[in-house]
Amino acid sequence: MAAVHAARLAQAGHRGIILCAREFMNSLDESSFAEVKGAIEADPFLLSWFDIGEKYIRTKDGNISFAFIGLWKNLNSLKSKARIHLCWIDEAEPVSEGAWIKLIPTVREHGSEIWVTWNPERKNSATHKRFREATADDMKIVELNWRDNPLFPAELERERQADMKDRPDQYAHIWEGDFVTTVEGAYYAASLVKARADGRIGTVPADPLMTTRAIWDIGGTGAKADACAIWIAQYVGREIRFLDYYEAQGQPLATHVQWLRSNGYGNAMCVLPHDGATNDRVHDVSYESALRSAGFEVKVIANQGAGAAMKRVEAARRLFPSMWFHEATCGPGIDAIGWYHEKRDEERGIGLGPNHDWSSHGADAFGLAAVEYEAPKNREHVQFTPRKVV
């Protein structure tokens, strides 16, 4: 399409350049040069319009030429690129906001266009925020996938099927255009792929007659403290319905309680890990006692001992076929459990147990929900504190 655009400009008598850029490009071999050249040579009409050399592509009248640059090293030189009719940024995922701020004003020719193509990886990337979240009236977004290719070859279809079967943790990103939400060794990757395929990630209603649970992973206060994570869930028949998710770092307990009350969970039963019953060394008060004083019903899950993190993972894996997620409010929590993975010693090729990173707080609370659901079968693991009547 860039070649077609160049031919149209040449037909109309325009002069200028088609700028093809990527964030990182050290040579023409790392650019879109070969793709543009191949597209032109594959079409007799286009080939009749272009002069193609070893290191250049231009129309035969010399009025429209292609330029290939890497933004990372050449961003400041863009200001000298006169008459940019089309700027195509390929593989645009890693382009920074600073680069966009400098690039966009340089494409100022009347009727000029900016084309941005990329495979999305992160929700917080500058490219995603600028071109998918904050769309403008003069912007058009097209999502293309393997389904949209009428010439999708049998070889790639076999590869797609193999990835679906053997690499479910990467399938959604590679073939369905999803963000990178899982890494190698992610504990719940296959379960999440199956849940989405089964329609268990979507719109999930709350049952007004059933108990609502707020299942916690306790954080701390201060800038460097662990995050506090809370899943809101209901057990409806044999289903575990996750209705909402909350996470905050460094905030006091009052902030978390306020979130519960302001979102309609003031009557939720609070399910805490074993350290919820531990008194603070300074204030001599525990999360358990503070929540009871605030009028909540509280249940504390006893310490599961050595390997507690993996026990939570195993419980959640067993119950995953019965789990449903309200995607609109549980998105950050789904991201967390999708990323939660094993820490590995690559030199020795051994696993070292769950990796403690940003995802582990949401994943720990999620695993605790599974443990609490199974708790009636193992009463010795549960301490129950009746709700305080105020």
Q: Please report the beta strands in the chain, taking only residues with DSSP state E, as ranges in sequence order.
A: 16-22, 50-52, 57-59, 64-70, 84-89, 113-116, 201-202, 213-217, 227-236, 239-249, 269-272, 297-301, 323-326, 342-345, 350-354, 382-385
388 burial class (0-12, 13-18, 19+ CB within 10 angstroms)? middle
Helix (H) or strand (E) holding 337: helix 327-339
Tokens for 237?
């028949």
Task: Report percent pLDDT > 90 for the chain.
Answer: 53
Write down the pLDDT at residue 283.
Answer: 47
Residue 252 backbone dihedrals phi, psi, to 5 degrees: -75, 165
Q: Which amino acid is at 359?
A: S
Write down the pLDDT at residue 309.
Answer: 87
Q: Which amino acid is at 198?
A: D
Contact 239, 322 (CB under 8 A): yes
pLDDT digits (tens, 9 = 90+) for 318-375: 999 999 999 999 999 999 998 898 876 666 666 667 888 889 999 999 999 999 998 7
Hey, what domains does the chain have and what are their CATH numbers? 2-142 (3.40.50.300), 202-385 (3.30.420.280)
User: Regarding beta strands 350-354 and 342-345, do their DSSP bridges make them parallel or antiparallel, or are they unpaired?
Assistant: antiparallel
Compute the average pLDDT of residues 111-120.
Answer: 92
Compute the average pLDDT of residues 15-30.
Answer: 86
CA dist., res. 326 & res. 317, Å (int): 19
- DSSP summary character for residue 349: T
Write down the pLDDT at residue 173.
Answer: 81
pLDDT digits (tens, 9 = 90+) for 135-174: 788 889 988 889 999 999 999 999 999 988 887 767 878 8
Q: Please give the model's pTM, rounded to 2 decimal places.
A: 0.59
Q: How many CB atoms lie within 10 A of CB 121?
A: 15
Compute the average pLDDT of residues 110-131.
Answer: 89
Range picked from 115-119, 186-190, 279-283, 344-348 for highest mean pLDDT: 115-119
Residue 43 backbone dihedrals phi, psi, to 5 degrees: -125, 115
Task: Report percent pLDDT > 70 for the chain.
Answer: 86
CA dist., res. 371 & res. 302, Å (int): 10
Q: In terms of Cα–Cα distance, which of 289, 176, 195, 188 is closest to 239? A: 195
Tokens for 108?
């100022």
